[in-house]
Structure formats: C-alpha cells, structure tokens
Amino acid sequence: MAERRSRAEKIAQTTEKLVATARAAFARDGYAAASMDAITAEAGLTRGALYHHFGGKDGLLEAVVRQIDAELGARLEAVWDATPDKRKALRATCAAFLDSALDPETQRILYIDAPAVLGQRLRDMDEEGSIGALTEALEELRDAHGADIADTEMLARILNAAMIDLALWIAASPKPTAALRRAKAGVLDLLERLGL
C-alpha cells in the first residue's frame, strides 16, 4: 500500500512540475516558442516524462488550460456566492470573467494560444466546465427573482458563447482596456434587455 501511495505521489509531483513549468513558459514565451526541451530541463525531468504523462506539448497545454480554467471557475463561483442578489451576482460574475481577458497569463494561454492549438478540445472543455454551472446559476436566479427564463440551458449556452467571444476580442484587441469597457457595457445592456 505504501509503495502504491509513493508511486501515486511521484506521478502527482511529476505532473505538477511539468504543468507549473509549462504554464510559466507558455505565459512568458507563448505556446509556439516554448521549447519542450527547455520545459523538461527546467522541471528537472526528461522529455519522455512529458510524453508519458501528457502525450506531447499539446496535451501539456490542455493540462495548463484545465488548471487555469479551474482557477477562473473558482473565482467566478466566489463572486457569485458573495452576492446575495442573484441579478447583481450574474452581472458581477460576467464582469469578473471579462476582467480575466486582461490578465497577461490568462490572455496569452487561454484566449490566444489555446483556441489555435486545441480547437474543438477547448470547446469540449468549456462544455464540461461552464455550461452546467451557468445553467444552475440561471435556475437560481429564476427561482430567487422570478426571472422569465423558459430554457435555462439554452440561455446559458447563448451567454457563454457571447462571453467567450468577448474575451477573445478583448485579448486580441490593440486597446484591450477600451475593449473591456465596451464589452462590459454591452453585457449589462444585454442582461437588462433580457430582464436579468
């Protein structure tokens, strides 16, 4: 049993080192310029370890994206939970999501490199992590405030698509702060018009 636990701990340490090192390299250099040899050397591991645990550089990027996405999800959930009025909570959560597009690490990895490298896999990860949570939030808003939402899942998909597109636009904008202001105003207007 101790041997099994020790092996599991070693695997966890190896994957954590690779993900942390890759995350820093992807944020600093971008995915294309980040070298697998440099990542593994900095982590004190072999290229074989990277292939064994992640299948290659794109698998490592997927692990980094999952980590960033989980952290972002936790921050958004904290904003939602901290705001008792669920109409205000939805607006604050949308604003916090859009703010993430200005964070240099998130901007580079999640909104610039990941869509280009991961393609449909990124959409699938978003499906796993966002649609259910947003659907639940809309159901909570409907129940708390009597919001007129006929299909919470469909509205969650529409809002999620809009928010992702806005984040991508902010990240790619030559004037991201101005784009963020416009995006927040547009989302507030949309939510107002929807009675949310």
Tell me: the pLDDT tens digits for 94-112? 999 999 999 999 999 999 9
Amino acid identity of residue 50, one-letter, is L
C-alpha triplet 5, 9, 14: angle, nearest 5°: 150
Number of helical H runs and strand E runs in the chain: 11, 0
Per-10-residue mean pLDDT for the chain, 196 residues long? 70 91 96 95 91 94 96 95 94 96 95 94 89 92 85 94 95 96 97 90
